[in-house]
């Protein structure tokens, strides 16, 4: 039950690139959580919000720059990822961003930030613990 947030500058990506970015990162998260990316139940629980800020609202080194970096924040239930799957996920996202946004000379083109939601602090009308979430996503075993 991952939750993805992408923050970027306004009009930095067209709708096709935006959709590809969200879709590919969503699938990378599912793979990291050991979910089947073709499973409809797993896909239904990957939520994403894509936020665009005005071009002059993102700073690097205290200055507004052309082609500002993306901020990618991923929230997962505590225990859904291991050190190994975190590393694989961050690497996969780096490749996805490079494919879609392109590398930037002399600086990073994105930050990926992973947040674990403490077990018992994720819910939808009721408290959902990791085994509940994995069951809803048809995950057979933890990562």
pLDDT of residue 56: 92
Using CA atoms of 95, 98, 103, 108 in order, give the dihedral in degrees to the nearest 10.
Answer: -60
In 3D space, the residue among 47, 35, 123, 126 whose CA is nearest the CA of residue 80 turns out to be: 35
Q: Could you tell me the residue range of the domain that residue 91 belongs to? A: 3-136
With CA atoms as reference, report the closest residue to 114 among 140, 139, 142, 79: 79
Each of the 143 residues of the chain gets a pLDDT tens digit; together they read 899 999 999 999 999 999 999 999 999 999 999 999 999 999 999 999 999 999 899 999 999 988 899 999 999 999 999 999 999 999 999 999 999 999 988 899 999 999 999 999 999 899 999 999 999 999 986 44
Query: Residue 143: what pLDDT?
Result: 44
Report yes or no: 2 and 44 within 8 Å, Cβ to Cβ.
no
CATH of the domain at 35: 3.30.429.10
| pTM as predicted | 0.93
First-to-final CA distance of the chain: 14
In a domain, 60, yes or no: yes
Which letter does DSSP use for residue 67 in this model?
S
Q: Give me the number of domains the chain comprises.
A: 1
Q: Does 143 reside within a domain?
A: no
Query: What 3-state DSSP class applies to 133?
Result: helix
């Amino acid at each position: 039950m991952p939750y993805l947030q992408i923050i970027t500058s306004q009009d930095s990506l067209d709708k096709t690139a935006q959709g590809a970015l969200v879709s590919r990162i969503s699938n990378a998260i599912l793979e990291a959580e050991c979910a089947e990316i073709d499973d409809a139940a797993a896909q239904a629980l990957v939520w994403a919000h894509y936020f665009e800020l005005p071009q002059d609202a993102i700073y690097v080194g205290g200055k507004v720059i052309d082609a500002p970096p993306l901020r990618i924040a991923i929230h997962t239930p505590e225990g859904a990822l291991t050190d190994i799957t975190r590393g694989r996920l961050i690497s996969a996202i780096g490749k996805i961003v490079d494919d879609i946004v392109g590398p930037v000379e002399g600086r990073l083109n994105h930050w990926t930030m992973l947040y674990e939601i403490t077990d018992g602090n994720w819910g939808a009308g009721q408290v959902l613990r990791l085994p509940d979430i994995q069951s809803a996503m048809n995950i057979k075993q933890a990562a």
